[in-house]
Chain A
Amino acid sequence: MNIDILLVSLAGVLAAAAPVVFAVIGETISERAGVINLSMNGNILLSAMAAFAVALATDNIALGFLAGMLVGGLVAAVLAFASITLKQSQVAVGFVLALLCRDLSYFLGNPVMGESGPRLSSTPIPFLSGVPLVGPLFFKHDVVTYLSFALIVAAWVFLFRTRPGLVLQGIGERPAAAFARGADVNRLRYFYVIVGGALIGLAGPTYSLSVKAGWKGAISGLDGIGWIALAITIFGGWSPLRAAFGAYLFSLLQWLGLALQPLLPGIPAQVLQVAPFPLMILTLLLVNVGNAEWVERTLARLPEPTRRLLARALRKLRATPPAALGTPFERE
């Protein structure tokens, strides 16, 4: 394969991962605040449909993206209200919203299904796009792909290098302690759940107005992506950098599946598209197994050098969720 084609393909992998990056970072923020947003799958579909419909009606792509974020924020607000104010199970409400929003998107999107709508055009960055290797890879994309690059860095800096980011970590880890230090835990949770939801809602339009432009209802091929993103968030260990890495890895694997298909004629394309999942389960196992009790017991029985080596490897991989994830905060 010639290098130029390879570069274009890899650039395509980066662009295709952009919506997943938005979704996993949105979910990471929400979960860091202590609220798991299980509605992601429906949220992405509904925001994709809404954005496409709005962009089609107004012929304005920016309004479409705005509509997508609005939908994402609204769905998250429903989740926040039901789980924070009404103290219902986050998982239950999120799951219902996931199914409800999916069906809503199919039902409401019926009139615009299959219409040809606007699509975000690419904006190569002057000078930088001319740099060999790096240019075609990173600087010949559309605006939202650049935004996805920027978001990874911004989210990381915010979370780990700013004071509000520290408070955000606090309300998910030790809400009672954060509260004692003057943080209004529930109000902040509302805020971050909605911000996270708006980012998830950015994933929808990135599909329907850029990566997979258009709205084709149930055959849009978007059903399932939210569930994938949810798993990548766990794989990402609630860190924006690692989550983004997971999103790129997934995108790369899906591309590889398609690229390698001519070499494996016996295997249908649909199978190769799910090929990343066994790998995903394996990685979930790797990042979680360090938390299991029997591993510690087994490790204790091993000879010292082996034990230390294995323990260090497992600790590196391990991802521990925010301590208060999934539990409502009640002030005593």
Chain B
Amino acid sequence: MKTRTLSNLLAAALLAAIPTPARAWVAAGGYHGGVVAVGYRPPCCYSGAAVAGAAIGGAMVGAAVASAAQPAYVAPAPVYYSAPVAYAPAVGTVVSALPPTGCSSLSINGISYMNCAGVFYMPFYSGGALMYQVAQP
């Protein structure tokens, strides 16, 4: 049986950018840094480029805080935020929820997508949750 080191476990749960070595096990159990940016909802009706900028800005804030000389760290990218409804997010954007209405599923070349008013989302599981990435099938 292959044994996994505790460092590996904690690192997996807390994302890669951890400044101090991790040795513990329980600590790895509840926290998943990958969805650290949940709850971010860009203001309505910006252009798609501005939305992408907002997402990147969030990641940069995380990176800036992480690099500051302080013991606390935040997990950097990827940035997840709730799906905007009024405009098209940029390809590659990852969201934790789809618009509440107007979506239908389809399969292209064996890959599943959700089509929400012409925007294609590719579903996948990550960190114990279902996520969607805006795609150009």
Decide if A and B are genuine partners. Answer: no
Measuring CB to CB, which residues of chain B are less than 8 angstroms from any residue of chain A? none
